[in-house]
Amino acid sequence: MKRSVVSVILFLMAGTLSAQEYKVPVSENDEPMMEGEFQPTWESLENYRVPEWFRNVKFGIWAHWGPQCVEGSGDWMARSMYMEGSNEYKHHVENYGHPSEVGFKDIIPLWKAENWNPDELVAYYKKIGAQYFFALGNHHDNMDLWDSKYQPWNSMNMGPERDILAEWEKAARKHGLYFGVSLHADHAWTWYEPSQRHDTGGPKAGIPYDGKLTKADGTCKWWEGYDPQDLYAQNHPLSENSWDNSAIHGQWAWGNGACLPTQEYCTKFYNRTLDVITIPTCSISMSRSCRSTPPATPD
């Protein structure tokens, strides 16, 4: 079900805005971009004004919650578990298995959300003074937490088998909070590169981790019929200095030797972004920008 939404764009940029060009243009064949007041240039976006409600509200809560919470070893664990010798790697190997045999894809079905009650949580958030609420739509681990049209690795198909965003939104609007969604899967392309690695020592030295598996490898596995490349997106060469765990921070803006994503990859993220805007969960944050709409009964 789709509905039209009047939304505003809030740019909450970390760091200094600099002139950028689109290195990989997306295709609008599946999701045409609506024409509006703004053009995709910094000059046009300089005319944007923060909405009155956002200037007035003083306290909000963001739920950064998804399958990365299963192991309890950090929000970047789906990357760090592939870094031989890291704390996340050691924790994963000891408790779940070696990343050549048990990858992040295999953590997803362990995320059941069986004790999650969004209505109780949002009611509590409001009680302690929150005036708006943001939910995680996807993390760098690339799993969509809604009934995603373009990402089969989503929370309706596996794990909780629930539309996490829809339930968050229902609770937020019931309790009169402004609602938003943050999306972070645009960087999965380089973020997951350690999953292409292998141990350099020990009994499993040289055995590849699971980052290059494909749909054909899923026969008789729990994920049969799903393509791990829809999650890991690792059918590409490594970025320069990829085995340097800190290199990604200098390549975040797709420079300094980062392997550029394909148009197919960028278009898929674009389609997923438009998907989450035009379904009942109608607020979005792309990278560090966001859209938000008022609640049904604002304070």
Q: CATH no. for residue 193?
A: 3.20.20.80
**How much is the pTM?**
0.87
Asked, for residue 95, whether it belongs to a domain, the answer is: yes
Which of 95-107 are b and which e, b meaning 16 or more Cβ less than 10 Å from the residue's Cβ? ebebbbebbbbbb
User: HSE-up of 170 (CA within 13 Å, CB side)?
Assistant: 10
Task: Report the length, in residues, of the chain.
Answer: 299
Model pLDDT for residues 178-208, shown as the tens digit of each residue? 999 999 999 999 999 999 999 999 999 999 9
The answer to whether residue 176 scores a pLDDT higher than 60 is yes
d(CA 117, CA 47) in angstroms, rounded, equals 40
Enumerate residues 6+ apart whose C-beta is below 8 A from 155. Answer: 113, 143, 144, 145, 146, 161, 162, 163, 164
DSSP letters for 155-189: TTTSTT-S-HHHHHHHHHHHTT-EEEEEE-GGGHH
d(CA 136, CA 144) in angstroms, rounded, equals 9
Identify the CA nearest to 130 among candidates 191, 73, 176: 176
d(CA 281, CA 154) in angstroms, rounded, equals 15
Asked, for residue 74, whether it belongs to a domain, the answer is: yes
d(CA 173, CA 292) in angstroms, rounded, equals 12
Contact 271, 32 (CB under 8 A): no
Q: Which domain holds residue 102?
A: 8-14+24-292
The pLDDT value given to residue 82: 99
Strands (E), the chain: 8-11, 60-63, 132-138, 178-183, 285-286, 289-292
The answer to whether residue 283 scores a pLDDT higher than 80 is no
Model pLDDT for residues 19-53, shown as the tens digit of each residue? 446 678 899 999 998 889 999 889 999 999 988 98
The answer to whether residue 299 scores a pLDDT higher than 70 is no
Asked, for residue 208, whether it belongs to a domain, the answer is: yes
User: Per the structure, how many domains does the chain have?
Assistant: 1
Asked, for residue 3, whether it belongs to a domain, the answer is: no
Asked, for residue 298, whether it belongs to a domain, the answer is: no
The pLDDT value given to residue 153: 98
The pLDDT value given to residue 23: 79
Asked, for residue 1, whether it belongs to a domain, the answer is: no
Asked, for residue 201, whether it belongs to a domain, the answer is: yes
Extract the tokens encoding 9: 């764009």
CB atoms within 10 A of CB 186: 20
DSSP letter (8 states) at residue 217: G
